[in-house]
Amino acid sequence: MVALACAAVVIGCEQPSNLPELGEVTGVVTLDGRPLASADVMFFPNYAAKRSQAITDENGRYELLYQRDIVKGAVVGHHTVAINKVVEDPRMGHRQILSDRYWKDSTIRREVKAGKNVINLALTSDPSLDSE
């Protein structure tokens, strides 16, 4: 019984050794210059690898997680970045407040390098002001 408990603890704490090279990624998401809270941030590698994701805090800050919310980071390389923010609307239920240009039609591209990366994402309500 003790051996099983010890094995469970060891297995639960181990990180997989077959992970790709990862870089730590943090940053701030803003919309029209203000922090965007409770937004989904996803980094999709430009080749067949698992995405990384995060949810912004009340200050718009995020830290990407790669695997089962236990491994920090994103695969090293180029990524397409998607940001989604849904709010409750009494008339329509859930309503997306960001344009598709930031979510399903995203053209935001960023590179993750080995080590620590700070990738801030400045979004606008007016597409003519986009700097992406």
* 113 within domain boundaries: yes
In this prediction the pTM is 0.80
* 2 within domain boundaries: no
Determine the pLDDT at residue 80: 96
* 81 within domain boundaries: yes
* 26 within domain boundaries: yes
* 132 within domain boundaries: no
* 64 within domain boundaries: yes
* 1 within domain boundaries: no
| CATH code (residue 87) | 2.60.40.10
How many domains, the chain? 1
pLDDT in tens, the chain (132 residues): 444 444 444 444 445 668 899 999 999 999 999 999 999 999 999 987 899 999 999 999 999 999 766 899 999 999 999 999 988 777 767 777 898 899 889 999 999 999 999 999 999 987 665 555
Cα-Cα-Cα-Cα dihedral sign, residues 25, 30, 31, 35: positive
* 7 within domain boundaries: no
Do the beta carbons of residue 130 and residue 109 sit within 8 Å? no
Domain of residue 119, residue span: 20-126
Residues 45 and 78: their CA atoms lie apart, in Å, by 6
